[in-house]
Amino acid sequence: MRYGIISDIHGNLEALEAALAALEGAEAFICLGDIVGYGPNPNECVARVRELPHLICVAGNHDLAAVGAYDLEWFNSLAREAAVWTGEQLEPAHFEYLRSLPLRAELPGVTIVHGALPKPMDYILSSIEARQTFAEFSTQLCLVGHTHVAEYWVQVEGQVRAAFAKATAAKVEHGSLFSGGEVKFEPGKRYIVNCGGIGQPRDGNSQAAFGLYDEEAQLVRVRRVPYALKETQRKMRRAGLPEMLTLRLEHGR
């Protein structure tokens, strides 16, 4: 099976459509959350994601914030303003859909969570959080999003195993996929892979970032594609969304 990996769409329909066009060969889809928030097309994005074949989707903090299930105190003022706007726009069926999303899901061999473990809305920003996350799942691969930056961590079992803290004794490597690349899984190693964000990349590259998990070939490939960014910005201005959020799209920050 080949799975399209999509994350952090943030109501950006143009970026989502560009990513899905590039993922045409995918037979199933994994969505890591934040379908809405920041962008001008929350309903259209939820509708588009929901119709994807064999979809497995977990909740992101912005999905839950838009439906009143996440404390807005965690957000800065711009994110809060966008979350309130998004909540007002959502059609009841899409509202209920976002509210029903699980925080964590599992496929054979793959754990799926928005940000980190054990707390799904935490960020993996260093090998410290990566280690904590490794300790909380047992599959070879864990897919995450949330930071909008494509990167990955590898856990290699050390010669010495500490029975009380297996993950701490293991070696954790960290690598960035930047503008695209491939992680090939090797036996005996475990991986946390972030394919970056579709609707609001934050690595200085404005192109949509997403991935493809090839179960048979045992690899994840990260890809980037340009999209009609000016159109998204035009819609954001028309909707009256904060100008800062509109401008950041072209800087990829």
Question: Of the two residues 105 and 154, which places its CB atom closer to Zn ion in the complex?
Answer: 105
Q: What's the closest the beta carbon of residue 178 comes to Zn ion, in angstroms? A: 19
Per rule CB under 5 A, count of chain residues that contact Zn ion: 2
The interface with Zn ion within residues 105-124 (CB under 5 A) comprises: none
Q: What's the closest the beta carbon of residue 92 comes to Zn ion, in angstroms? A: 23
What is 76-94 written as a DSSP string? -HHHHHHHHHHHHH--HHH
User: Which candidate, 37, 30, 28, 51, places its Cα nearest to that of 9?
Assistant: 37
Q: What's the closest the beta carbon of residue 208 comes to Zn ion, in angstroms? A: 13
In this structure, which long-range contacts are made by residues 107-110, counting pairs with CB atoms below 8 Å and at least 24 apart in sequence?
107/3, 107/30, 107/56, 109/139, 109/140, 109/141, 109/215, 110/30, 110/139, 110/140, 110/141, 110/142, 110/143, 110/213
Question: Of the two residues 125 and 217, which places its CB atom closer to Zn ion in the complex?
Answer: 125
* Residue 151 interacting with Zn ion (CB under 5 A): no
CA separation for the pair 79, 120 (Å, rounded): 19
Question: Of the two residues 142 and 172, which places its CB atom closer to Zn ion in the complex?
Answer: 142
Question: Of the two residues 8 and 203, which places its CB atom closer to Zn ion in the complex?
Answer: 8
Q: What's the closest the beta carbon of residue 10 comes to Zn ion, in angstroms? A: 6
CA separation for the pair 13, 3 (Å, rounded): 20
Q: What's the closest the beta carbon of residue 63 comes to Zn ion, in angstroms? A: 9
* Residue 8 interacting with Zn ion (CB under 5 A): yes
Question: Of the two residues 148 and 190, which places its CB atom closer to Zn ion in the complex?
Answer: 148
Q: What's the closest the beta carbon of residue 114 comes to Zn ion, in angstroms? A: 8
Question: Of the two residues 8 and 14, which places its CB atom closer to Zn ion in the complex?
Answer: 8
The interface with Zn ion within residues 17-36 (CB under 5 A) comprises: 34
Positions that interact with Zn ion (CB under 5 A): 8, 34
